Amino acid sequence: MRWQFRNTVPAALLMALPMPVIAAEAAPAVAADDQGAGDILVTARRRAENVQDVPVAISVVGGETLAAKGVYNINRLTQLQPSLQFFSTNPRNTFINIRGLGAPFGLTNDGFEQGVGVYIDQVYYNRIASATLDFVDVERIETLRGPQGTLYGKNTTAGAINITTRAPSFDLEGNAEVSLGNYGFKQGKASVSGPLGKTVAVRLSVATTDRQGTIFNVATSQHVNSQDNIGLRGALLWKPSEDFKVTFSGDYNLQNPVCCAQIYASVGTTQRPLNRQYAALVARFPGYKVPSTDPFDRLTDLDAPLAARNEMGGASALVEWSLGPGTLTSVTAWRYWDWAPSNDRDFTGLPIYTKVNNPTKQDQYTQEVRYNYEGERINFVVGAFAFHQKIRTSGIQETGTAASAWLLAPGSALSNNPAVLNNVVAINDIRLDNTSVAAFGKLNWKVGDRLTVSPGVRINYDKKDGRYDSVVTGTASNGTRQIVSNDPASASYNDPWTAAQRGVQASQTFEVPYSAWNLSGDINLAYAVSDDVNAYATYARSFKTGGVNLNGVPSLPDGLPALDVAIIKPEKVDHFEIGLKSQFWDRRATLNLAGFWTEIKDFQASVISNISGSNVLRGYLANAGRVRVRGLEVDLSIRPSDRVSAYASGAFTDHEFVRFVDAPCPPELAGGGTGTPIGAPGVSGTNSPANCDVSGQWLPGISHWAASWGGEYNIPATVLGQAGAVYAGYDGNYRSKFSSNASRSLYTDIDGYSVHNFRVGFRTDAVDVFGWVRNAFDRNYFESLAVTPGNTGLISAQLADPRTWGGTIRLRF
């Protein structure tokens, strides 16, 4: 299957149906920016149709544009797509949201699902960490907005990101690319494809990225938050006839940077006693001083080793068989993920926590079968999907010599004795077996020449078996090593040292099963107003699978885990959307509009609870009452001539917790005593609420306004005897203020910012040489702000890249 182009490649929205892989023809050298105007015909539903006729809100970026704009991972993709949000402090602690929905903000938990599906060559990637790899030989990336699940794969409530790599070719072809830049940036990419015989073709690709970190650690004299990535990919196509083909694919990816540091951002006042807040605690360590209180000095003094080794890979077989009036497709895949971190989770240069590391291994198996029928008035997709995942996490948490003074109440003899909390060790064994099976179908019924009705349905069964086992040991007051237990009957329960250790962390073991059936569906109406104007309306009743808490749960007064909060109920989603797709100016301009309204009942969110009689505040996942996200989106692209192209996309998103009465409190309303009256925000030594009612407040991570825009201009030129084009391009993006905490805080709102990127170069059909500068005006801004453990008032930051610049040479044959 292939795209057919008239004029140029557009920025118009592209349908991503679960049919055979669509191969794109290369754009001419003078028109490499695929965000211009024109027609794209797709045959994804076994007939050629203009993408503008397909009633789905989706954005597409082609491989040529990705390379030109330096978009080599999902994080950078957000600069081109306003409705896509990406937050990451390391690969495992990564959240991808569409229209502000997808994953709970603030906690990583193996027991819940993502609301945004990530697919690479039709293979579903369950853990976002296993999809943070650099793009290798990508043909295009499609971002579908809104619930998905009646057409393919795993059910997702917020949308899906479909990444398609370049297919093997029966014509010998290849490309190579080298980029160099500041901060020691070095990136190389190469791909070669060609026939191995009349019926077999192969493609081999490699990509590698290396860059010095943008933050300097004065404690270790290292630049941290570096990049050190390599990706390998191979595909073998066997095509014995025009009606049958099989594509075997395999890949290996390794990220092994010195990473990941979140640094000092600011200090805010909490309701803790003043002698337990950041300034007083730091004063207990004479001579200690943070290297800088200005985060944009990009300095830190983290004393624990940093590592973020992220290895992933897998293999798949894609079978496509033209059978009767339709196509039978089978996708079989195995994937693995191996995560080996080392963190400093006290966010200081003091030996409070010397280890907080949770190495994780995953194996994932998926099988999907679909049949796509094509008739004159009716076409449909029916399919089945099966998924099994096994996750094993073997973690450790260890405290150091500064823990007693930092974590225990000042003034007590125990807080002055480093031995009390030194070498308190938690060994964590976390296991999840996750199985999901589903059947789905989507019908397209052309009622008349202009109206098409498209109902869809999905039935889903999910089963999860989770186990959490944390064994904590510490030194008792008699010098012996003891289990730190919540059980009042344990021998060391009343030992004063063990009691102090239990207030920091105690042993806990539980197993929790979960299983449920879910039925969901959607209906879509599409109406052709004219040849160039199409309207659509969609209603979807969707769900996000329930789950289990696998980071521990609060303890009851008798020491047993509170298993009633171990299960997370499914999210129930009602989604409404209307849209208009239009082309004008002799189809040199495209304007698409979408309006949406999404309400979620039992929204899966982060909470903090202190069970009555329990000694420890524990964060976990639970269900909020209801949230609402609604907004408008616009996409405009124009190409008045072969010399000029431009685009602009914008989104307005209104968002709030409609009802969430037991949310975690922000730091300014936490850390104080129990009882009444409740103190004013940020007043030390006062009483704090057990939880907070945030109904009516912002959802985290969502800006009310977001936009991206840009363009390119080229003129024919001859350089060194080679005919081609000289070009200049510009891309900008903007986000308004957003909250960076699960419950909005005085200290964690991130101000709005804009980023501007430029490039200039010369290209022919075979060569492209250009220079680039990203974040050209060196805008200092935060990607995220976070409240650090213990509620001392310390706020940590994840910084965005400063200004970077460099050059790229690309060769094609």
User: For 752-795, what is each residue's pLDDT tens digit?
Assistant: 999 999 999 999 999 999 999 999 999 999 999 999 988 899 99
Q: Which residue, among 534, 570, 447, 486, has the nearest Cα to 112 in the 3D structure?
A: 570
Domain boundaries, the chain: 4-812
Average pLDDT over residues 178-198: 97
Q: What does the pLDDT read at residue 636?
A: 95
**Res. 4: pLDDT tops 50:** no
pLDDT in tens, 207-255: 999 999 999 999 999 999 999 999 999 999 999 999 999 999 999 999 9
**Res. 51: pLDDT tops 70:** no
Average pLDDT over residues 176-203: 97
Q: What does the pLDDT read at residue 608?
A: 64
**Res. 737: pLDDT tops 80:** yes
**Res. 21: pLDDT tops 50:** no
Residue type, 98: I
Q: What does the pLDDT read at residue 66?
A: 84
Count of C-beta atoms within a 10 Å radius of residue 781: 17
Give the whole-number percent of the chain exceeding pLDDT 90.
71
Q: What does the pLDDT read at residue 53?
A: 72
Residue carrying structure tokens 């369950």: 126
**Res. 17: pLDDT tops 60:** no
Q: Which residue has the higher pLDDT, 565 or 617?
A: 565
Q: Which residue, among 83, 87, 112, has the nearest Cα to 100 in the 3D structure?
A: 83
Q: Which residue, among 657, 504, 552, 614, has the nearest Cα to 105 in the 3D structure?
A: 657
Q: What does the pLDDT read at residue 593?
A: 96
Q: How confident is the model at residue 57 (pLDDT cuts 50, 70, 90)?
A: confident
Alpha carbons 735 and 758: distance in angstroms, whole number: 19
Q: Which token pair is 700?
A: 């985290």
Half-sphere exposure of 473 (CA within 13 A, CB side): 7
Q: What does the pLDDT read at residue 33?
A: 41
Q: What does the pLDDT read at residue 464?
A: 96
Q: What does the pLDDT read at residue 690?
A: 86
Give me the chain's average pLDDT, please: 89
Q: Which residue has the higher pLDDT, 486 or 514?
A: 514
pLDDT in tens, 630-655: 999 999 999 999 999 999 999 999 99
Average pLDDT over residues 545-564: 85
Q: Which residue has the higher pLDDT, 25 or 67?
A: 67
Q: Which token pair is 200?
A: 């077999």
DSSP SS3 for 531: coil
Architecture of domain 4-812: Beta Barrel (2.40)
